[in-house]
Amino acid sequence: MLRLTIIALAFSFLNASAQIPTPKEYFGFNIGDDYNLATYTQTEAFIKKLATSDRTKLVDIGLTEEGRHQWQLIVSSPENIKKLDRYKEISVKMARAEGVTQDQAKAMAAEGKTIVWIDGGLHATETVGTHQLIETMYQFVTRNDAETLRILDKVIILFTHANPDGQELVSSWYMREPKAEKRLIRDLPRLYEKYAGHDNNRDFFMLNLKETQNMARQLFIEWLPQIMYNHHQSGPAGSVVAGPPYRDPFNYVFDPMMITGIDAVGAAMINRLNSENKPGYTRLGGSVFSTWYNGGLRTTTHFHNMIGLLTETIGSPSPGEIPLVPSRLIPSNNTPFPVAPQVWHFRQSIDYSLTMNYAVLDYASRNSDLLLMNIYRMGKNSIERGSMNFWTPYPGRIELINTAFKNRPKKAVPDKPIAMTEQAGLMGGTSEIPSKYYDSIFHVPALRDARGYIIPSDQPDFSTAVKFVNALIRTGIRIEIAKSDFIIGKKKYPSGSYIVKANQAFRPHVVDMFEPQDHPNDFQYPGGPPVRPYDAAGWTLAFQMGVEFDRFLDDFDGPFELINYGEVQSPKGSMDASASAGYLLNAKSNNSFIAVNDLLKQGVEVYRLPEGLKDKNAAAGTYFVPAGTKAAGILAKDAADLGLNIAGVSKQPTSLAKVSTVRIALWDEFGGSMASGWIRFLMEQYRYSAEVIFSKTIDAGDLNKKYDVIIFVAGAIPAVIKETENNEPGNRREPKPEEIPAEYQATLGKITAEKSIPALKKFMEEGGNIVTIGSSTNLAYHLGLPIKNAMTEIGPNGIERRLPGDKYYVPGSILRMNLDSTQSATWGMSNKADVYFNNSPVFKLAPDAVISGKIKPLAWFGEENPLRSGWVWGATYLKGGVVAFEAPVGKGKLYAFGPEITFRAQSHGTFKLLFNELYSVDEIPKNVTLGKKK
């Protein structure tokens, strides 16, 4: 009896976790045991076990692209879990800072809890990430030591699985090999995110993918955590972890407290590792990670005043070795505690991750009120900067100071050298440039930052502009909509226009989406090679999407109504149902192509107007759909769903070209090309039927029997001559057929000059069309077309070579190109467009190439400096360079686009350059009366 009571008492002191199995009991192995990975199916079931604890709340944040549930396990003390709504409210109010006084903020900071996001598994092959998440969740749900309890009392942890589909694929792939020692993660047969693979971490300002949308909702609408920690793998050779703080460049739109906030938490992380005798953490210049880019899961949080942390930790379920890298063994500020070369086991990586998670959470628990006050302060700062004259210190503005000083009027008697006084010495010295040169730039009203932006609803592709607005809304930006027409200055704006003002907490993100990124000229040493940005140098989403907007340097007002945070917009369409002859679909609107595909699928005839229609102000390439009940039904629905404004005509236009569907093939490769995956995504979004094909299908020949158009993204077609042509296609190794399951064997193989190119040439000669993007424009060289790489020079030995990096370098940036928009390939485009360019191919045409009809240029660089956003070094080399052309090849055609016209499914402004090529368009004799359609 007594014994029983003691047992009962003992149980009552434990929390509900008594029923929770250990990972070993549940999975059959400890997390981190060599040669063992858990699948998502297993992990999901284990998370549900953890969710029986009163320390947790399990939240389904949405479905993944493959249809799995994406879970977030919220962990805190049982008392906090009961009051989650209140703590969420405090967190959101503090981050938005709107209408919150300093005193109210102080009271909420005292009452509130720190919200910390910890994720795992975004990049699914980085298996440390998923597995540290499982282990950390388990420990925080079951441990009862004083530190864990203090953390649970002060912190609400949002444990979020970042890529369920990827974990299922990778773990099943690894575990399929029965012999543990033979297990390998490599040679994954397809992308670990359905469309984007590794690019799932480049989607956070565009938010194309379901997983991105799910996580962004939690980060930017629901919770607004003060700290977010994004786990990756792996650190540079000779280290264990690369972590915060990060190297330059620094994005100039940030609040400095965000950066110093990263410093503080980073210091806690490395300090705790060191105190636990865990060496090998490298930071700052010790790794390539910077705070420049927006668009990553971590990096987008920086533009929202959050302390966004990234670590890259080494590790593999199959034991490996830390290599000997002598230079890394010298302690420095980058790597204060170097690690010696040694054999390394998975569990060690899990333990490092646990230490770092604990360090972050310990810091958060000790500084709860401070963290809440700091995010409030940053929000207030942003609101203030957006409400006054403010000059972001971009390098371009600093350069203006230097230029103004250099070009100062010369005096008859030159200035005496500035004498060094004692006072000057005490102030750190003197500068040759008088302070008035600062005022000459930083107090000039015309140069100040914008107070806000208006996106007019009467722009040609408004439904794409609404997609841009929705990307802002999904990242928590405050947007207003005009309820009636209004006038600002001399310009009239229609009702339905969107207004984005800069006086809001997440001003850094607003500025970043509308304004150019001014990347510094970053070289390894003066005159030396450029330092590669970690990702893009420029990405301004409004430019990439071709959104028309006006920027205002003064505050403005109108009949504006606030849109609720997170409330996604749908554009309103219209249709002239009285049209007696037919309907016009605007060729400038991307969504028109969806409607065209719907019509063609249902057997409705569609035409294009090669000359446009002057009296309707319709540009060349406008679609014409003859009146008919079926057409009217489809168009009425699409007008409403897609926000199309469909005009009507009472007379059939005279000049018509018939549009027909074609059989589309999209190249891909074993393992999955991300660029191809993004186009696959676009094909689904815009309702094209495209078949994914691999090199074996191409090599088998007879392509005209199956396809009319084949699309090749960057990385597909190899170079002819390595010295002067553009980037080599990915040299990803391929497994032997017998090493992989039969279902993937047909996807092995590469495009070769010997077998594939002749098959492609024959395909075009017999009437097929090929669209090439990026380095796949190499095909033009294989065909011997009269073009050359424009980015070359004669080297010191008299031999032509590619321009070296110290003369010409353009990392991922947005450039402005000129177009011939009268061609069917460019219909719907204006004669200038912003395009995403990443050291992309640029061509020089042979003197008679155009006259002889061998090459028809479609786009070229016409401006002195085509840079719109990012970094161009050596702009003069670009001028006159052709970036897109078409060329007849037998009965077919080759379309070559040097820049990334479909970049990460972000560059909506240039999607039409692909879409236009995905139909056959046949001009019909003038003045033929079309038959009446039902």
Q: Are 355 and 276 in contact (CB under 8 A)?
A: yes
Nearest approach, Cβ of residue 249 and Zn ion (Å): 21
Residue whose tokens read 């977010």: 228
In the complex, what is the shortest distance from the CB of residue 230 to Zn ion, in angstroms, rounded to a whole number?
9
CA atoms within 13 A on the CB side of 338: 18
Binding mask 184-223 for Zn ion (x = CB under 5 A): ----------------------------------------
Minimum CB distance to Zn ion smaller for 313 or for 517: 313
Contact between 298 and Zn ion by CB under 5 A: the answer reads no
Give the number of other Cβ atoms within 10 Å of residue 931's Cβ: 7
Q: Which residues are registered as beta bridge partners of 801?
A: 793
Stretch that binds Zn ion, among 70-78, 122-130, 147-155, 561-569 (CB under 5 A): 122-130
State the CB neighbour count (10 A cutoff) for residue 824.
16
Q: Give the nearest distance from C-beta 129 to Zn ion in angstroms.
A: 7
Count interface residues toward Zn ion (CB under 5 A).
3
Q: How far is the CB of 126 from Zn ion (least distance, A)?
A: 5
Rounded to an integer, what distance in angstroms lies between the CA atom of residue 127 and that of residue 528? Answer: 38
The minimum distance between CB 270 and Zn ion, in angstroms, equals 20
Identity of residue 42: Q
Give whole-number Cα distances, 756 to 674, 699, 886, in Å.
21, 5, 21
Question: In this complex, which beta carbon is closest to Zn ion, that of residue 123 or of residue 202?
Answer: 123
Q: How far is the CB of 485 from Zn ion (least distance, A)?
A: 48
Q: Based on CB atoms, which residue is closest to Zn ion, 185 or 581?
A: 185
Closest by CA to 692, choosing from 669, 720, 659, is 669
Q: Provide the minimum distance between the beta carbon of 211 and Zn ion in the complex, in angstroms, as a whole number.
A: 14
Q: Of the ranges 115-123, 334-342, 366-374, 545-553, which one interacts with Zn ion (CB under 5 A)?
A: 115-123
Q: Which stretch binds Zn ion (CB under 5 A): 39-47, 117-125, 353-361, 705-713?
A: 117-125
860 closest CA partner among 782, 871, 849: 849
Q: Which residue is it, tokens 């009203």? A: 445
Minimum distance of Zn ion from residue 241's CB (angstroms): 13
Q: Specify the stretch interacting with Zn ion by CB under 5 A; choose among 116-124, 321-329, 465-473, 870-878.
A: 116-124
Give the separation between CA 823 and CA 245, rounded to whole angstroms.
50
Distance CA 333, CA 475 (A): 35
By C-beta, is 200 or 540 nearer to Zn ion?
200
Query: CB atoms < 10 A from the CB of 486, how many?
Result: 19
Q: Give the integer Cα–Cα distance in Å for 729 and 842.
A: 17
Q: Least distance in Å: CB of 313 to Zn ion?
A: 10
Point out which span in 120-128, 248-256, 331-339, 355-363 binds Zn ion (CB under 5 A). 120-128
**104 SS3 class:** helix
**What is each CA distance from 370 to 102, 360, 377, 721, in whole angstroms?**
13, 14, 10, 59
The helix/strand/coil state of 825 is coil
Please, what is the minimum distance in Å from the beta carbon of residue 637 to Zn ion? 42
The Cβ of residue 708 has, within 10 Å, a number of other Cβ atoms equal to: 20
Nearer to Zn ion among residue 166 and residue 530 (C-beta): 166
Q: Which is nearer to Zn ion, 225 or 235 (CB)?
A: 235
231 binds Zn ion (CB under 5 A): no
Query: For residues 214 and 94, what is the distance between their CA atoms, to the nearest angstrom?
Result: 22
Pick the stretch among 118-126, 255-263, 408-416, 616-624 that binds Zn ion (CB under 5 A): 118-126
Residue placing its CB nearer to Zn ion in the complex, 232 or 761:
232
Nearer Cβ to Zn ion, position 123 or 161? 123
Stretch that binds Zn ion, among 126-134, 621-629, 755-763, 835-843 (CB under 5 A): 126-134
Q: Cβ closer to Zn ion: 124 or 513? A: 124
Lookup: tokens for 455 = 């996106």
Does residue 232 interact with Zn ion by CB under 5 A? yes
* Closest CB 797 distance from Zn ion, rounded Å: 42
Q: How far is the CB of 545 from Zn ion (least distance, A)?
A: 26
Report the 3 state secondary structure along 657-720: EEEEECCEEEECCCCCCHHHHHHHHHHHHCCCCEEEECHHHHHCCCHHHCCCEEEECCCCCCCC
Work out whether 123 is an interface residue with Zn ion (CB under 5 A).
Answer: yes
- CA separation for the pair 186, 770 (Å, rounded): 32
- Of the ranges 232-240, 331-339, 431-439, 577-585, which one interacts with Zn ion (CB under 5 A)? 232-240
Between 74 and 113, how does the x/- string for binding to Zn ion read (CB under 5 A)?
----------------------------------------
Which CB sits closer to Zn ion, 210 or 232?
A: 232
Task: From 119-127, 271-279, 659-667, 886-894, give the range in contact with Zn ion by CB under 5 A.
Answer: 119-127
Residue among 302, 166, 279, 329 at smallest CA distance from 232: 166
Distance of closest approach, residue 123 Cβ to Zn ion, in angstroms: 3
- Which positions lie near Zn ion, rule CB under 5 A? 123, 126, 232
